[in-house]
Amino acid sequence: MTCMKQEENGRLGLSTRAIHAGWEPDAETHAVKRPLVMANSYELPPSVDWETVPFVYARDLNPNGRWLEELLAALEGSEDCIATASGVSAINGTFFALLSSGDHLIASQIAYVSVRTMLLEHFPRRFGIATSLVDTTDPEAVRRTLTPQTKLIHLETPGNPTTAISDIAAIAPIAHSAGALLSVDSTWSGLLTQHPLLLGADIVFHSLSKYINGHGDALGGAILGAKALLDPIRKFAVKDMGSCISPFNAWQIMRGSATLPLRMPRHCQNALRVAEFLETHPKVAWVRYPGLKSHPQHALASRQMDGFSGMLNFDIRDPRQRPELLRRLKLFTHATSLGHDESLIMVYDDFSGNEFFRVSVGLEDADDLVEDLEQALVLM
């Protein structure tokens, strides 16, 4: 597996970008790390040029948020970035900024639960925005769902919670030939294993709360793409709706991001090891991990991604024993969220009532993770 090779397009490598983009010694104190700037407002010159003044009020833009935006734009290879309070505020704020009543949106049916709720309930019932949630692992299903009102196609790949992979490069021309934009929630890729803009997407979303911060101790979201597309989204979602990132969360996430290129290959390696172990275990009914040949979209994932990230699904042969497995595990914490340093496990369903374990494989020693699963499975 070639996990996260450096791109050969004249830019600095990903590790170098993670450590240098957005980072500068502090001009006033010469501290080698960016300071945490908690001020709400910024002193203005007597006559203000609102187009060029860098900071006015911390909800519109704050220094720590901006430095994080520069770092993330450099990593994703996008012209600009908007940092927001959470992944959900990035996605739903963008939908609200781009769509009006009468418009139509197509989205992956396997999508983050709060995004689904917005698309299935609030948009159609309260705001007059028509939505179609379809199986986007089939590009033809997307094409068939287009209407003259379709303004946006939103993919989540890999999809939460099932690891479903959608073909970004195949769906981008379907969106563009219909005059629609293509957005991709790339959270599960951990940014480094997938670059949707290079595959034709217009907008990329990340929950920074996951792999990018990586330590399970901050919330944030990011919207990435061309500046002309992002400027009105920033005005609407951040300034007018108030989805700004707090300086402290931005500072914390920027600190975490510096080691993302070290962490992601380890998540990939550990997850493959755990998936391969589970796949051979007699008490395990099935395993779903994009890096396994048995995954329904393994060939597509191999083509589209550079590493398969750290998320997998499995189930045991006797589902009544799920609580017992959770009770026996010592290293996998029974909790939601993902992309943390520690491994996490929880029971999810695929929105059709099929339940299974969703595992976020952490950065522990793979041998220890396998041994922990082995001792927990032994009596199932």
Ligand X SMILES: *Cc1c(COP(=O)(O)O)cnc(C)c1O
Which residues are at the interface with ligand X (CB under 6 A)? 86-88, 112, 156, 160, 185, 187-188, 207, 209-210, 219, 221
Task: Output the smallest distance, CB 346 to ligand X, in A.
Answer: 12
Judged by DSSP in three states, 317 sits in coil
Task: Output the smallest distance, CB 42 to ligand X, in A.
Answer: 27
Cβ 321 vs Cβ 376: under 8 Å:
no
Which is closer to ligand X, CB of 109 or CB of 209?
209
Which is closer to ligand X, CB of 221 or CB of 291?
221
Give the nearest residue (CB) to ligand X: 87
CA proximity to 281, closest of 314, 313, 312: 314
Which is closer to ligand X, CB of 160 or CB of 270?
160
Instruction: Name the phi and psi angles at 285, rounded to 5.
Output: -80, -40
Task: Output the smallest distance, CB 179 to ligand X, in A.
Answer: 26
Instruction: Name the phi and psi angles at 296, rounded to 5.
Output: -60, -25
What is the Cα–Cα distance from 202 to 199, expressed in whole angstroms?
A: 9
Task: Output the smallest distance, CB 255 to ligand X, in A.
Answer: 17
Helix (H) or strand (E) holding 312: strand 311-316
Task: Output the smallest distance, CB 213 to ligand X, in A.
Answer: 9
Which is closer to ligand X, CB of 131 or CB of 187?
187
CA proximity to 207, closest of 298, 111, 96: 111
Which is closer to ligand X, CB of 93 or CB of 277?
93
Task: Output the smallest distance, CB 25 to ligand X, in A.
Answer: 30
Residues 6+ apart with CB under 8 A from 165: 137, 157, 158, 159, 290, 295, 297, 300, 301, 304, 305
Which is closer to ligand X, CB of 221 or CB of 247?
221
What is the Cα–Cα distance from 341 to 144, expressed in whole angstroms?
A: 41
Task: Output the smallest distance, CB 81 to ligand X, in A.
Answer: 15
Sign of CA dihedral 167, 169, 170, 176: positive
Quick one: DSSP state of residue 198? G
Which is closer to ligand X, CB of 264 or CB of 316?
264
Task: Output the smallest distance, CB 114 to ligand X, in A.
Answer: 7
Which is closer to ligand X, CB of 112 or CB of 289?
112
Instruction: Name the phi and psi angles at 70, rounded to 5.
Output: -65, -40
Burial 304-336 (b: 16+ CB within 10 A, else e): bbbbbbbbbbbbbeeeebbeebbebbebbbeee
